[in-house]
């Protein structure tokens, strides 16, 4: 049945969801955003069917509403729900990276017509805005749902059905548990990435070559420091408690490492690094759990026009689908490393075989 979907906030995440819903359903999509340029772009590119700057009237017409503005603005929009006169049932969800503050706001919405189901797709990028939006952004990603206590299974299923074209994997969590886990695996690493960049910037005052030496390692670990600062400060302050206790743990851990270095305890340092490697390697190989399993392969390519395309073409001819591609390091004119991720071991070993046959140097981790 054709339904009406309101997406409020058409940035990277809202825009990607709107594109995906448009591609996979017949629903009428209304876009709401505070940026006129974003609304114009979304209409011009067929991402939405209708643009509005009037949230209150648009949500009254909708069967579903996805709030995809920055966290603080999403909280404000949820607070607004109690002031709107709804005449039919609506499922409202959001995409915010924190869930306790969102669910606290949702718990006081007093309309009998509104069912709130918190949402958080665990995929994104360091880019922002509608121009960075992609319909396939959430493919194979975990999509966390935090329904209000009174929510029926049927409503959760209806929301999942709306989002099924994203090809994500749904996981239901309590908001507190969500915030604890995402602070460890997403929010706190972001703070550390930014702090590493500050450290390098400070050292550059006395060591001018620092930016030129910043190779794969530094770039890998600090990519997320290039993300949207407004979004991240919002997330940090809405998960302030979790961030605070992780910072305390981190400072203790850094002090312990400092003393290993000072006392020359090479054995403990080796074990520390070894245990980290084992855990990190295990994340990618995990068959079950919250982190999707990917099978990685590394391929050496030359920095020449079309080098990446050639690899992709070879695999496409074999009808092998690639889950993710990342260029880890390309230096001018020298070989670089391409990381290809596959969904299963069979695709990984077939790709390895066929690329070797074409003369590529490849590497698979055990």
Ligand X SMILES: O=C(O)C(=O)C[C@]1(C(=O)O)C=C[C@@H](O)C=C1
Ligand Y SMILES: NC(=O)c1ccc[n+]([C@@H]2O[C@H](COP(=O)([O-])OP(=O)(O)OC[C@H]3O[C@@H](n4cnc5c(N)ncnc54)[C@H](O)[C@@H]3O)[C@@H](O)[C@H]2O)c1
> Residues touching ligand Y: how many (CB under 6 A)?
30
Interacting residues with ligand X between 216 and 255 (CB under 6 A): 224, 227
User: Which CB, 59 or 102, lies closer to ligand X?
Assistant: 102
Closest distance to ligand Y from the beta carbon of 234 (Å): 7
Binding mask 315-344 for ligand X (x = CB under 6 A): ------------------------------
* Binds ligand Y by CB under 6 A, chosen from 8, 19, 163, 191: 8
Give the pair of three-digit tokens for residue 307: 């080098």
SS3 per-residue string spanning the chain:
CCCEEEEECCCHHHHHHHHHHHHHCCCEEEEECCCHHHHHHHHHCCCCCEEECCHHHHHHHCCEEEECCCHHHHHHHHHHHHHCCCCCCEEEEECCCCCHHHHHHHHCCCCCCEEEEEEEECCCCCCCCHHHCCCCCCCCCEEEEEECCCCCHHHHHHHHHHCHHHCCEEEECCHHHHHHHHHHHHHHHHHHHHHHHHHHHHHHCCCCCHHHHCCHHHHHHHHHHHCCHHHHHHHHHHCHHHHHHHHHHHHHHHHHHHHHHHHCCHHHHHHHHHHHHHHHHHHHHCCCCCCCCCEEEEEEEECCCCHHHHHHHHHHHCCCCCCEEEEEECCCCCEEEEEEEECCHHHHHHHHHHHHHCCCCEECCC
Position among 4, 5, 6, 9 found at the interface with ligand Y (CB under 6 A): 9
Closest approach of Cβ 318 to ligand X, in Å?
28
Return the one option of ligand X, ligand Y, none that residue 58 interacts with (CB less than 5 to 8 A, by type).
none
| 193 part of the interface to ligand X, by CB under 6 A | no
Question: What is the three-class DSSP state of 117?
Answer: strand
Q: Which is nearer to ligand Y, 36 or 198 (CB)?
A: 36
| Contact with ligand Y (CB under 6 A) among 41, 52, 64, 70 | 70
Binder of ligand Y out of 4, 6, 7, 11 (CB under 6 A):
11
Site for ligand Y in 72-131 (CB under 6 A): 73-74, 95-97, 120-121, 124-125, 128-129
* Of 71 and 338, CB closest to ligand Y: 71
Taking CB under 6 A as the criterion, the residue among 51, 59, 71, 117 binding ligand Y is 71
Q: How far is CA 313 from CA 316, 318, 319, 348, in A?
A: 5, 9, 10, 16
Q: Is 52 among the residues that bind ligand Y (CB under 6 A)?
A: no
Q: Of the candidates 21, 322, 292, which has an alpha carbon nearest to the alpha carbon of residue 165?
A: 21
Contact 329, 300 (CB under 8 A): no
* Cβ count near 234 (within 10 Å): 20
Q: Which does 224 bind (CB under 5 to 8 A by kind): ligand X, ligand Y, none?
A: ligand X
Measured from the CB of residue 362, what is the shortest distance to ligand X in angstroms?
A: 25
Binders of ligand Y among residues 192 to 251 (CB under 6 A) are 228, 231, 235
What residues numbered 84-113 form the site for ligand X, per CB under 6 A? 97
Kindly state whether residue 126 participates in binding ligand X, applying the rule CB under 6 A.
yes
Using CB under 6 A as the binding rule, whether residue 335 contacts ligand Y is answered as no
Residues of span 130-189 touching ligand Y by CB under 6 A? none
Number of residues binding to ligand X, judged by CB under 6 A = 9
Q: Does 186 participate in binding ligand X (rule CB under 6 A)?
A: yes
Give the residues lining the site for ligand X (CB under 6 A): 97, 122-126, 186, 224, 227
What is the contact surface with ligand Y in residues (CB under 6 A)? 8-14, 32-35, 38, 68-71, 73-74, 95-97, 120-121, 124-125, 128-129, 228, 231, 235
């Amino acid at each position: 049945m054709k339904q009406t979907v309101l997406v409020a906030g058409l940035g990277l995440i809202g825009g990607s969801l709107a594109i995906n819903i448009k591609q996979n359903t017949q629903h009428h999509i209304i876009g709401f955003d505070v940026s006129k340029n974003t609304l114009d772009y979304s209409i011009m590119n067929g991402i939405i069917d209708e643009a509005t700057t009037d949230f209150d009237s648009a949500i009254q017409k909708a069967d579903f509403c996805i709030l995809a503005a920055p966290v603080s603005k999403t909280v404000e929009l949820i607070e607004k729900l109690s002031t709107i006169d709804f005449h039919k049932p609506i499922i409202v969800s959001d995409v915010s990276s924190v869930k306790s503050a969102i669910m606290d706001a949702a718990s006081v919405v007093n309309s009998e017509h509104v069912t709130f189901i918190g949402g958080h797709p665990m995929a994104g990028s360091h880019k922002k805005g509608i121009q960075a939006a992609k319909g396939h952004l959430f493919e194979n990603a975990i999509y966390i749902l935090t329904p209000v206590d009174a929510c029926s299974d049927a409503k959760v299923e209806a929301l999942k059905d709306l989002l099924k074209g994203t090809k994500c994997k749904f996981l239901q969590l309590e908001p507190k548990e969500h915030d604890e886990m995402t602070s460890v695996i997403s929010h706190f690493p972001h703070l550390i990435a930014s702090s590493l960049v500050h450290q390098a910037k400070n050292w550059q005052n006395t060591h001018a070559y620092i930016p030129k030496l910043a190779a794969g390692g530094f770039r890998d670990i600090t990519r997320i420091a290039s993300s949207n600062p407004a979004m991240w400060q919002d997330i940090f302050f809405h998960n302030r408690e979790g961030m605070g206790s992780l910072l305390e743990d981190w400072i203790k851990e850094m002090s312990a490492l400092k003393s290993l270095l000072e006392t020359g305890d090479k054995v403990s340092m080796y074990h520390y690094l070894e245990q980290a490697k084992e855990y990190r390697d295990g994340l990618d190989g995990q068959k079950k759990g919250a982190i999707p399993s990917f099978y990685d392969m590394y391929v050496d390519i030359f920095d020449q026009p079309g080098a990446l395309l050639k690899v992709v073409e070879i695999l496409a001819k074999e009808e092998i689908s690639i889950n993710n591609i990342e260029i880890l390091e390309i230096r001018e004119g020298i070989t670089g490393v391409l990381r290809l991720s596959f969904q299963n071991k069979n695709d990984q070993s077939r790709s390895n075989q066929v690329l070797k046959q074409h003369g590529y140097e490849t590497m698979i981790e055990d």
